[in-house]
C-alpha cells in the first residue's frame, strides 16, 4: 500500500490579483520507506504539496491519501512529523524541553517522555545538549534538534520543508550524511523539499521535478544510486547523470514560459 | 557607574533651577512683608527669606526635604501626620486596583484573541473608556459604589483598575498574537488542543509584552488611587494630603506628598522591572 497517494490534485489560491493555481493535476505515489525529494523553482508548488499531505492546506480538487486515510485523519492520528524551514524551537524551553513538547501534547507518561528524548537526542548526536537553551546552539544544531523533535513520537512519515535551506554548505553536507543514516536506521518514509540539485540527488530514492505557473510535476526520476552513499558518491558518473537529468527537467519546465 | 555623572549633573541642574524659581516666585511676598515693617531688603536677606517662608508659593528643596524627614522618620507610623501612614493607604488601594486591572486586562485580552465577536466589538469600548477624563468619572464611581454600600478601599481600587486594565489589554492582545504562522502550524501538526496551544505557546510568548504593560499599568494605578482620594474628602492617603495641603495653603506639605508619590511610583515600576528580568532570564528569553 502507498504511504502517500495523490490523484489529479488541484489547489487554487484566491488572491487580490485573481486566482493562482498552485497545484495542477498532481498525481504521485510514495511507497513505504522511500526517500522522495521535491525540487523546483519558487512557486512550483513543492511546499504547497507537502502542506497538503500535512493537512495544512486543503486541495480544491482531486484526491490525496496519507497512510490510506485523509490527511486530516492522518494528522489527528499523528501519523507524520513535520520539519519546517526554521528550527522553530521555543526560546523558553531547553533542547530537551523542546523535544518533550509534542510528547507532552500527545500525553506520553513522564518516564516514556524522558526515555524518548534521550533516544532521539542520541540519534541526532545532541545528547550533551539536553539542558542547553536554543540560543546556546549553532543553527545546524538547532535544526538537528528540530528533526529530533519530529522523530520523538511514533510517526513513520517525516515531512521536511527545506530544513537545511538556511545553513551553509559544509554544515549542510554533514547534516545530509546524518539524515541518510537516520533514514536507514529508522526506516521512515521521508518527503523532502529542496532547492538544491546535489542535495536532492544525494538523498533521494525518487526525485520529483516540479515547475511553476501552474505548479505541476514535470519529471519523476527513480534514482539508480545504491542505498549506501558516502559523500564522494557525488563525483561518480551515475550521480552526475542523475543530476544532469534533474537539471534538464528543471530547464524543460521553464521552456513553457 | 558611567551613568552616575550625567544623572548627578541633571539632578544638580534641577536643584539650581528649583532654587532660582523659589527666589523669583516668593520674592513678592518677601518685599511685601519688608515694606510693611519698613525694612530695607538686601539681596542676601531676600534670598534667605524666599527659601524659608512658612507658606511659600514654591518651597525650596531643603524645606520639602525637611518636611519629608519630619513626617517619615520622626513620626510614628500610626500617627495621622506620618507620610508613611498616608502612603500605605494609597499603596494598598494601588496594589488592589493593579491586581484587579491586570486580571481584567488579561481576561479581556484572552476573550479578544479567542472569540471573534469580542475581537470585533470589545476594543472600541476599551479605547473609549480611556477617553473619558478620570477626574470626571471618579466621583461617579465613588458615589455609585457608596450607594450600594461599598466604601473604603474598594472604590479607590476600582478607579485604579479602570486606569490600569487598558495597557494590559493592549499589550496582552499583541503578546498572545505574537506566535508566527509557522509556530501555529507546528502545533497543528501535533494536533494540539486549543488549551494546550494557549498554555504552551501563546501565554509564554506573551510574557515580554505583559511586563511592559504591567509597568505602565502600575504607574496608572497609582495615579488612579490618588485621584480616587481627591473628590471623596478622604481623610487619609497621599491624595488626601494633597487636598488638605491645598485647602490650607500648605505648599510644603503638597510638595512632600508629590515627591512621595513619585518615589513610590518609581519603586513600584522598578520592582516590576526586576520581576521582568528574573522571569525572562529564567525563561531563557533575556
Closest approach of B213 to chain A, Cα-based (Å): 20
pLDDT at A216 over 60: yes
Interatomic CA distance for residues A94 and A135, integer angstroms: 10
Is B192 in Cβ contact with A75 (below 8 Å)? no
> Does residue B276 fall inside a structural domain?
yes
Q: Which residues of B touch A94 (CB under 8 A)?
A: 284
pLDDT of residue A167: 80
Q: Give the CATH number for residue B190.
A: 1.10.3720.10
pTM of the model: 0.82
> Does residue B67 fall inside a structural domain?
no
pLDDT at A257 over 60: no
> Does residue B210 fall inside a structural domain?
yes
Interatomic CA distance for residues A146 and A194, integer angstroms: 17
Closest approach of B149 to chain A, Cα-based (Å): 47
pLDDT of residue B1: 63
Is the Cα torsion angle A104, B279, B114, B162 positive or negative in sign? positive
Is B189 in Cβ contact with A81 (below 8 Å)? yes
> Does residue B176 fall inside a structural domain?
yes
Interatomic CA distance for residues B133 and B139, integer angstroms: 11
> Does residue B130 fall inside a structural domain?
yes
* Judgement on whether residues B157 and B48 belong to the same structural domain of the protein: no
> Does residue B69 fall inside a structural domain?
no
Is A91 in Cβ contact with B188 (below 8 Å)? no
Strand partners, A157: A80, A189
> Does residue B229 fall inside a structural domain?
yes
Interatomic CA distance for residues B259 and B76, integer angstroms: 20
Of the residues A86, A92, A106, A133, the best mutation for testing chain B's interface (the one with the most B CB atoms within 10 Å of its CB) is A92
Dump pLDDT digits (tens) for A219-241: 898 888 888 888 888 889 888 98
* Judgement on whether residues B93 and B199 belong to the same structural domain of the protein: yes
Q: Give the residue on A whose Cα is nearest the Cα of B187.
A: A102
Average confidence (pLDDT) over A50-73: 90
Q: Which residues of B touch A101 (CB under 8 A)?
A: 190, 200
* A103: Cβ contacts below 8 Å, ≥ 6 apart: A112, A113, A116, A117, A152, A153
Is the Cα torsion angle B128, B134, B137, B143 positive or negative in sign? positive
Dump pLDDT digits (tens) for A14-29: 888 888 888 888 889 9
Domains of chain A: 1-79+155-236+250-257 (3.40.50.300), 91-154 (no CATH)
Between vectors from CA A131 to CA A126 and to CA A137, what angle results, nearest 5°? 55
Is A90 in Cβ contact with B186 (below 8 Å)? no
Residue B21 lies in domain: 4-56
Q: How confident is the model at residue A255 (pLDDT cuts 50, 70, 90)?
A: low
Q: Total domain count for chain B?
A: 2
* Judgement on whether residues B90 and B52 belong to the same structural domain of the protein: no
Is B204 in Cβ contact with A102 (below 8 Å)? no
pLDDT of residue A116: 92
Minimum-distance CB partner of A105 among B183, B196, B204: B196
CB atoms within 10 A of CB B283: 16
Pick from A163, A160, A180, A257: which is nearest to A218 by CA?
Answer: A257
Minimum-distance CB partner of A82 among B189, B207, B283: B189
**Residue B57 carries which DSSP code?**
S
Dump pLDDT digits (tens) for B135-184: 888 888 888 888 888 877 888 899 999 999 999 999 999 999 999 999 99
CB pairs under 8 A between A and B: 52
Is B192 in Cβ contact with A105 (below 8 Å)? yes
* Judgement on whether residues B119 and B255 belong to the same structural domain of the protein: yes
Question: Comparing B21 with A255, which gets the higher pLDDT?
Answer: B21
Q: Which of A96-105, A135-144, B61-70, B148-157 has the lowest mean pLDDT?
A: B148-157
Minimum-distance CB partner of B190 among A92, A106, A133: A106
Q: What is the percent of chain A with per-residue pLDDT over 70, rounded to a whole number?
A: 98
* Judgement on whether residues B118 and B21 belong to the same structural domain of the protein: no
Chain B residues whose C-beta sits inside 8 Å of any chain A C-beta: 182-183, 185-193, 196, 200-201, 204, 207, 283-285
Is A105 in Cβ contact with B200 (below 8 Å)? yes
Of the residues A57, A102, A191, the best mutation for testing chain B's interface (the one with the most B CB atoms within 10 Å of its CB) is A102
Q: Which residues of A touch B207 (CB under 8 A)?
A: 92
pLDDT of residue B234: 67
ipTM of the complex: 0.87
Is B284 in Cβ contact with A92 (below 8 Å)? yes
Closest approach of A135 to chain B, Cα-based (Å): 8
* Judgement on whether residues B8 and B144 belong to the same structural domain of the protein: no
Q: Which residues of A touch B204 (CB under 8 A)?
A: 90, 92
Q: How confident is the model at residue A254 (pLDDT cuts 50, 70, 90)?
A: low
* Judgement on whether residues B52 and B100 belong to the same structural domain of the protein: no
Of the residues B175, B182, B189, the best mutation for testing chain A's interface (the one with the most A CB atoms within 10 Å of its CB) is B189
Interatomic CA distance for residues B128 and B144, integer angstroms: 21
pLDDT of residue A256: 54
Q: Does A69 touch chain B (CB under 8 A)?
A: no
* Judgement on whether residues B97 and B185 belong to the same structural domain of the protein: yes
Strand partners, B266: none
Is A82 in Cβ contact with B186 (below 8 Å)? yes
Minimum-distance CB partner of B284 among A54, A55, A133: A133
Which of B41, B56, B71 terminates a domain? The answer is: B56
* Judgement on whether residues B38 and B98 belong to the same structural domain of the protein: no
* Judgement on whether residues B131 and B272 belong to the same structural domain of the protein: yes
* Judgement on whether residues B205 and B268 belong to the same structural domain of the protein: yes
pLDDT at A192 over 90: yes
In three-state form (DSSP H/G/I as H, E/B as E, the rest C), the secondary structure along chain A is CCCEEEEEEEEEEEECCEEEEEEEEEEEEECCCCEEEEECCCCCCHHHHHHHHCCCCCCCEEEEEECCECHHHHHHCCCEEEECCCCCCCCCCCHHHHHHHHHHHCCCCHHHHHHHHHHHHHHCCCHHHCCCCHHHCCHHHHHHHHHHHHHCCCCCEEEEECCCCCCCHHHHHHHHHHHHHHHHHHCCEEEEEECCHHHHHHHCCEEEEEECCCCEEEEEEECCCCCCCCHHHHHCHHHHHHHHHHHHHHHHHHHCC
* Judgement on whether residues B179 and B229 belong to the same structural domain of the protein: yes
Q: Which of A135-139, A166-170, B157-161 has the lowest mean pLDDT?
A: A166-170
Q: How confident is the model at residue B233 (pLDDT cuts 50, 70, 90)?
A: low
> Does residue B30 fall inside a structural domain?
yes
Q: Does A71 touch chain B (CB under 8 A)?
A: no
Q: Does A249 touch chain B (CB under 8 A)?
A: no
Minimum-distance CB partner of A88 among B183, B191, B196: B183
Q: Does A96 touch chain B (CB under 8 A)?
A: no
Amino acid at each position: 500500500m502507498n504511504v502517500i497517494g495523490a490523484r489529479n490534485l488541484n489547489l487554487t489560491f484566491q488572491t487580490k490579483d485573481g486566482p493562482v493555481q498552485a497545484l495542477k493535476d498532481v498525481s504521485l505515489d510514495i511507497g513505504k520507506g522511500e526517500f522522495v525529494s521535491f525540487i523546483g523553482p519558487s512557486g512550483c508548488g513543492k511546499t504547497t504539496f507537502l502542506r497538503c499531505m500535512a493537512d495544512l492546506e486543503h486541495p480544491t480538487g482531486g484526491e490525496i491519501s496519507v497512510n490510506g486515510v485523509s490527511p486530516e485523519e492522518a494528522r489527528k492520528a499523528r501519523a507524520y512529523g513535520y520539519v519546517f524551514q526554521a528550527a522553530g524551537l521555543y526560546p523558553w524551553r531547553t533542547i530537551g524541553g523542546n523535544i518533550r513538547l509534542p510528547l507532552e501534547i500527545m500525553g506520553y507518561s513522564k518516564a516514556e517522555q524522558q526515555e524518548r528524548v534521550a533516544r532521539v537526542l542520541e540519534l541526532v548526536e545532541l545528547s550533551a545538549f539536553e539542558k542547553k537553551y536554543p540560543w546556546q546552539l549553532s543553527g545546524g544544531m538547532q535544526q538537528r534538534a528540530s528533526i529530533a523533535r519530529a522523530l520523538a513520537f511514533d510517526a513513520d512519515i517525516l515531512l521536511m520543508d527545506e530544513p537545511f535551506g538556511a545553513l551553509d554548505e559544509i554544515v549542510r553536507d554533514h547534516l545530509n550524511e546524518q539524515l541518510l543514516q537516520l533514514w536507514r536506521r529508522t526506516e521512515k518514509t521521508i518527503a523532502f523539499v529542496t532547492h538544491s540539485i546535489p542535495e536532492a540527488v544525494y538523498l533521494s530514492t525518487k526525485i520529483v521535478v516540479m515547475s511553476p505557473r501552474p505548479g505541476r510535476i514535470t519529471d519523476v526520476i527513480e534514482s539508480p544510486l545504491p542505498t549506501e552513499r558516502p559523500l564522494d558518491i557525488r563525483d561518480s558518473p551515475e550521480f552526475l547523470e542523475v543530476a544532469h537529468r534533474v537539471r534538464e527537467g528543471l530547464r524543460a519546465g521553464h521552456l513553457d514560459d | 557607574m558611567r551613568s552616575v555623572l550625567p544623572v548627578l549633573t541633571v539632578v544638580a541642574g534641577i536643584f539650581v533651577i528649583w532654587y532660582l524659581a523659589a527666589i523669583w516666585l516668593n520674592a513678592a511676598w518677601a518685599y511685601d512683608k519688608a515694606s510693611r515693617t519698613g525694612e530695607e531688603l538686601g539681596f542676601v536677606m531676600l534670598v534667605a527669606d524666599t527659601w524659608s517662608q512658612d507658606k511659600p508659593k514654591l518651597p525650596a528643596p531643603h524645606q520639602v526635604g525637611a518636611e519629608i524627614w519630619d513626617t517619615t522618620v520622626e513620626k510614628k507610623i500610626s500617627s495621622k501626620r506620618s507620610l508613611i501612614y498616608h502612603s500605605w493607604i494609597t499603596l494598598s488601594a494601588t496594589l488592589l486596583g493593579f491586581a484587579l486591572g491586570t486580571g481584567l486586562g488579561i481576561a479581556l485580552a484572552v476573550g479578544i484573541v479567542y472569540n471573534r465577536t469580542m475581537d470585533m466589538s470589545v476594543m472600541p469600548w476599551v479605547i473609549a473608556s480611556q477617553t473619558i477624563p478620570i477626574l470626571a468619572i471618579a466621583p461617579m464611581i465613588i458615589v455609585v459604589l457608596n450607594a450600594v454600600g461599598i466604601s473604603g478601599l474598594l472604590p479607590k481600587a476600582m478607579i485604579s483598575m479602570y486606569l490600569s486594565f487598558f495597557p494590559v489589554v493592549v499589550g496582552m492582545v499583541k503578546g498572545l498574537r505574537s506566535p508566527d504562522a509557522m509556530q501555529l502550524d507546528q502545533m497543528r501538526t501535533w494536533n494540539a488542543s486549543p488549551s494546550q496551544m494557549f498554555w504552551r505557546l501563546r501565554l509564554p510568548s506573551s510574557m515580554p509584552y505583559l511586563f511592559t504593560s504591567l509597568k505602565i499599568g502600575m504607574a496608572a494605578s497609582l495615579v488612579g488611587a490618588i485621584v480616587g482620594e481627591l473628590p471623596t474628602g478622604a481623610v487619609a492617603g497621599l491624595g488626601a494630603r494633597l487636598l488638605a495641603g491645598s485647602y490650607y495653603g500648605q505648599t510644603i506639605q503638597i510638595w512632600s506628598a508629590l515627591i512621595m508619590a513619585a518615589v513610590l511610583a518609581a519603586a513600584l515600576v522598578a520592582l516590576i522591572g526586576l520581576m521582568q528580568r528574573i522571569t525572562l532570564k529564567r525563561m531563557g528569553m533575556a
